[in-house]
Amino acid sequence: MQIRLERPEDIAAIQSLITAAFKEMPYGSQTEGAVVDALRSAGALILSLIATEDGEIIGHVAFSPVAINGATNGWYGLGPVSVRPDRQGRGIGQALIREGLARLRDIDMNAQGCVVLGDPGYYSRFGFVSDPGLRYGDVPPEYFQRLGFTGIVPEGEVVFHPGFDAT
Ligand SMILES: CC(C)(COP(=O)(O)OP(=O)(O)OC[C@H]1O[C@@H](n2cnc3c(N)ncnc32)[C@H](O)[C@@H]1OP(=O)(O)O)[C@@H](O)C(=O)NCCC(=O)NCCS
């Protein structure tokens, strides 16, 4: 398995992968692929990594800037993250996320941290924690987590990029 940045010729396969990964998920909205396209079109897909095996795309993770209290200030959102159904549970998602978090800090020397909306049991292994000071709408706090890179964590309301409103 290899991890690398997406290339233009990967875009259609990334779409198919995301659709397949979220298809059976009760919390999936079937808009996850459109979100990634919208982020890319808006220039907000700050980091898009794929995992490949024998030349096939089997995993993908996206990162985009988030706003806290209306300002983008070095915080990013992780997601969506997708692993092909027949390859799930083999560490590919974890490898993509760890690589992405490391690369975020290379891309933005002033990166402050990352937030994620999802299962806390999965994301806590990367150091994500629930923080009552950092809120995301009406989402129960345990499902919204943050990972600070610097020790300085702002308080306030987090807003994902408008690309997440893609339908
Ligand atoms: C979630 C997902 C990206 C994880 O990637 P993966 O390669 O399958 O998972 P990994 O092998 O890295 O990690 C395995 C661990 O994750 C857990 N896990 C797998 N899918 C999970 C899910 N949907 N929610 C929570 N935990 C999950 C496994 O139980 C396992 O836990 P353990 O290590 O404590 O035994 C992948 O399963 C996927 O694409 N799911 C469908 C899309 C999705 O739900 N994306 C995330 C939305 S927040």
Q: What is the CATH number of the domain that holds 42?
A: 3.40.630.30
> Residue 89: which residues within 8 A CB-CB, separation 6 or more?
none
Ligand 1 pocket check for 91: Cβ under 6 Å: yes
Q: How many domains does the chain contain in total?
A: 1
pLDDT of residue 28: 84
Among 83, 84, 115, 144, the mutation site with the greatest number of ligand 1 atoms within 8 A of its Cβ is 83
Q: What is the pLDDT of residues 107-164, one digit of tens each?
A: 999 999 999 999 999 999 999 999 999 999 999 999 999 999 998 889 999 999 999 9
Q: pLDDT tens digit string along 70-120?
A: 999 899 999 999 999 999 999 999 999 999 999 999 999 999 999 999 999
Q: What's the gap in Å between 84 CA and the centre of ligand 1?
A: 11
pLDDT tens profile 14-49: 999 999 999 988 888 889 999 999 999 999 999 999
Q: What is the pLDDT of residue 118?
A: 94
The pLDDT, as a whole number, for residue 29 is: 86
Closest atom, ligand 1, to C-alpha of 88: 8
Question: 45 and 62 in contact (C-beta within 8 Å)?
Answer: yes
61 pLDDT band (50/70/90 cuts)? Answer: very high
How does 25-57 read in b/e, with b if 16+ C-beta sit within 10 Å? eeeeeebbbbbbbbbbeeebbbbbbbbeeeeeb
The residue contributing the CA closest to ligand 1 atom 27 is 122
Q: Is residue 167 predicted with pLDDT exceeding 80?
A: no
**What spacing in Å lies between the alpha carbon of 88 and ligand 1's midpoint?**
7
Beta-bridge partners for 117? 144
Query: Cβ distance 78 to 103 under 8 Å?
Result: no
Rounded-to-integer distance, Cα 155 and Cα 123, Å: 20
Scan for tokens 């308080």, then name that residue. 155
Position 24 scores a pLDDT of 84
Residue 16 DSSP class: H
Provide the residue range defining the domain that includes 108: 2-165
pLDDT at site 27: 84
